[in-house]
Structure 1
């Protein structure tokens, strides 16, 4: 049974558009030249927070306020994009937010969360450890815990899926990155609500491939680490609810290497002059790896965000350029 109805989704879209105008879907000619595929890019890097997550946090807090409950604070764990959306929704409603991020998290994402009004707390070696700290803060101070996956988050995020399917008819395949699962679950849910046959392929990083392993096994598989520069996909502990939806509704879940992600980031920059963070570039990386099987297909990629530190972006691009030069001269 779907998480929500089409009527619920349309109501969420009305709410979301108060803050997030409909993002564009472009078919870039140079991407078609590069891949040989009709590629449609859904530009979620063009939201006010630079990420698709803006939709979910806004909808979640709006639903919380409409329920008559105004907590004394919101707390959540994040690598950055989810935290920005929660901070935005909290600040707009006069609620303090406490955002827990792991050590070594993106400084620019931390700064963005603070700019949206968040109290940023650095604790834990990775996202999953930060989530434990956030739960402790909830218990100690009575804050409302915003989970990484929830029906109201997915309902908000699903407004981008609705826009995509209404913009481009007869899509054969959509590639989408998987972090905690709201993005891919929104595409699956809305596809089914609209009665479409589009295949959904989830993408993970090889260094953070818990969801790919879980999809292959048909059950949750945890990994010891999730060490990828594509921090939006740095999950090592798949949660039961999104995994169930993915197992039932995804065509496949694939993994791409750090090098492939870097190549896709470069392609986005050169072919479209858009900045893509690692997770945002991963769907294009997966498409490029499978291009020979996609000829003649209408394929969409979700550019989920462009929030990457300048230093990280330059380091990734420099390393990729050096590696490419070495291969060319070998």
Structure 2
């Protein structure tokens, strides 16, 4: 018997109604070359062209708009982020009149930290560990009476990210599968909730960097990751976290395919180059991971009935002065 999940399709549709006037309905791109190479029809959902340059704008603005209605006494919001959720939260706060502080690890790309400041948020740098982020975030929340908006493990964030699938399946109703890069799992779980409701037979696959061991966890049904949480050695800074969230985990376990696409740094670089050169789009390495999955050996083994496949280009916040192949 299926368990009752913390977020449902109604939450996603309500989020879409709430945020539609704030976000872009991002376009779909196709490429004949990649269709020839794979023998399938590949559709790229360009969330790199979303507000703030990533899908994170959806979850951030949904959470803050809802918070503004439900708890007007909160003085502001704070979050921790390697960059994209930080930018999104800073933008969403500015758009709704909230004060905002963003905690970022010191290794965050300069381009992402600069954008956070430009949106008017207070930028607070912390140590390199996941636990450093949370400790700094909780300190700000206590001292300033701020609400914490986590980057992925939050019901309203998950619902906001699920709006990607609502749009995608309006634009390409015949999708048979969607490939989604994963870090904490907010986007993947939101997309799975919406996509599976709209089209129950659709397959939703995770794409991870090497070392995440998500397939092993999904197959066993257990959280096998070591504690405390760790970061992976990957050029894709947006998907460096090894563990998924505690709210996202049961959603992934119930709705996402157990088969996971795992990609390495060289594959990500090659995929990024392909998108730059062939699609003429600027994408960051996390987006490259999703494209790399399409070129992988495992992709070739997918059932031949899976013909129309969506790929989420999750972000475009790359430092063009430090592209990974230089």
Do 1:44 and 1:303's aligned partners in 2 also have CA atoms closer than 8 Å? yes
Provide the rounded CA distance (Å) in 2 between the counterparts of 1:7 and 1:78. 27
Please say if 1:238 is aligned against 2:283.
no
Aligned residues: 315
- Partner deviation per Cα, 1:217-266 (whole Å, 9 max, x = no partner): 42223354422110111113332221111111111223211111111101
- Partner deviation per Cα, 1:65-100 (whole Å, 9 max, x = no partner): 111424222111001111111111212232221111
Provide the rounded CA distance (Å) in 2 between the counterparts of 1:17 and 1:105. 29
Q: Give the gaps of 5 or more residues in structure 1.
A: 319-330
Q: Which residue of structure 2 aligns with residue 122 of structure 1?
A: 125
Residues 218, 254 of structure 1: CA spacing in aligned structure 2 closer, same or farther, 3 A cutoff?
farther
Provide the rounded CA distance (Å) in 2 between the counterparts of 1:239 and 1:153. 12
Q: 2:46 aligns with which of 31, 43, 47?
A: 43
Q: Which residue of structure 2 aligns with residue 152 of structure 1?
A: 156
> Structure 1 stretch 231-240 or stretch 8-17: which is displaced more?
8-17
- Tell me the TM-score normalized by structure 2: 0.90
Residues 19, 138 of structure 1: CA spacing in aligned structure 2 closer, same or farther, 3 A cutoff?
same
- Tell me the TM-score normalized by structure 1: 0.89
Please say if 1:276 is aligned against 2:283.
yes
Do 1:59 and 1:152's aligned partners in 2 also have CA atoms closer than 8 Å? yes
Provide the rounded CA distance (Å) in 2 between the counterparts of 1:4 and 1:218. 20
> Structure 1 stretch 54-63 or stretch 231-240: which is displaced more?
231-240
Aligned residue runs from structure 1 range 170-189, under 5 A:
170-189=174-193
Provide the rounded CA distance (Å) in 2 between the counterparts of 1:32 and 1:278. 21
Q: Which residue of structure 1 aligns with residue 301 of structure 2?
A: 293
Residues 133, 302 of structure 1: CA spacing in aligned structure 2 closer, same or farther, 3 A cutoff?
same
- Partner deviation per Cα, 1:8-56 (whole Å, 9 max, x = no partner): 4333223222121211112221222343321000110111211001111
Q: Which residue of structure 2 aligns with residue 309 of structure 1?
A: 319
Alpha-carbon RMSD across the aligned residues, in angstroms, is 1.9
Provide the rounded CA distance (Å) in 1 between the counterparts of 2:59 and 2:40. 31
Do 1:221 and 1:238's aligned partners in 2 also have CA atoms closer than 8 Å? no
The structure that is helix-richer by fraction is: 1
